[in-house]
Amino acid sequence: MKLKEIYELAIETGIKADLRGEDKVQEDLDRLKEKYNKMDEDEKEEFDTEKLENPYSDTRILYGDSDREVNKILVGVDIDVGEVLIADRLNEKGEGEKVDLVMAHHPEGKALAALYQVMHMQEDILHKHGVPINVAEGIMAERISEVERGIMPLNHNKARDAARIFDIPLMCVHTPADNLVTSFLQEKIDEKDPERVEDVVKLLKDIPEYKEAVGVKAGPKVVVGSEERRTGKVVVDMTGGTGGSKEAFENLSQAGVGTLVCMHIGEEHREKAEENHINVIIAGHIASDSIGMNLFLDKLQQNDIEVVPCSGLIRIER
C-alpha cells in the first residue's frame, strides 16, 4: 500500500466506527467546506485543508511522501526519537524487509498541536447519552480551551524531526483507533448486558489485550463504586481526543448513566464521578489503545503489510 492509502483507510475506518454516526460526521464536514468557501484568500492560506476530508485533527501523515510504498511498519502507542532510532537501527541491520513507516497511536507534531480540535465530538457523544446539546457544548468549552493551552508549550516536532533526518515516514492514528475500541467494547457490553460491575470487569478480562495487561499489573480496575454494585446503563468513554469535562458527570448521572468504562481518569474527575454515584472502571490505557490499533492493523495485514509492534503495543490479531 502507499502511505496515502494507509492514511485514507485510517480516516475511512474511523468514520465508520464514529459514535456520532457517519451522517453526522459528513454533515460536519459539509458545514466546514461551506465555511472554507466563504473565507478570504489570507484565511484559506492558513487553513488546514486536510480538515475538509479528515474530521480527525489528531490523525495525520507527519513526514514522508504520500506516494511512498509501504510493506513493513514499526507501530507503537507512543513514538518518540528512540522509536525512530529503532526503525533506523533495524534498517541498518538489514534483516528482512526495511521499515518503510513508523506509526504512532498518540499524536505528535501538528496532530498533537491540534488535538484539542477533535474534542468537539465529545459534545455530540454526551448528547447521544442524554445530555442536552447546549449543556454539552457549554461544559466542554472550558475543557477544550484548557487542553489547547496545555499543549501550547510542548515541543511537538521532536519525533518528526528525527524521522526527517533518517528519511523514515511517520504518521499517527489516534481518534480513528479510539473510535474502534470504543465501538468494539460498547457492542460487547450491550450484547452481554451485565447486571453488576464485576460482570463488566470479567468481560474485559476475557479480552486478550486486557488479559495480558493483568499480568503486568495494568489490567481493569474499579476506581469508583464497587464490583458488587449494579451497573445501570453502561457507557464506554474512550474517544474524543482526551479526557472531557469533569462537570459532565453530574449531567451523565441525571441522564441515567450508571457505569463508565474509561481508559484512564484524573483525580478531580474521579471525585466528581464519586459525588454523582457513577461507577467507574478503568480498563487500562495502553491495553485499550492496543485494541483500537489492533483492529486497524488487522486491516493493514490483510493488505500484506508486516507489523512490528513496539512502545507498549500489545499486538493481538483477530
Which residue positions form the known binding site for a divalent metal cation? Answer: 285
List the binding residues: 285
Helix (H, G, I), strand (E, B) or coil at 91: helix
Rounded to an integer, what distance in angstroms lies between the CA atom of residue 196 and that of residue 230?
A: 4
In this structure, are residues 209 and 244 in contact, taking their beta carbons and an 8 Å threshold?
no
Q: Cβ contacts of residue 289 below 8 Å, gap of 6+?
A: 77, 105, 106, 177, 178, 181, 263, 312, 313
Q: How many CB atoms lie within 10 A of CB 43?
A: 11
Rounded to an integer, what distance in angstroms lies between the CA atom of residue 158 and that of residue 162?
A: 6
Q: Which of 229, 226, 290 is nearest to 263 (CA)?
A: 290
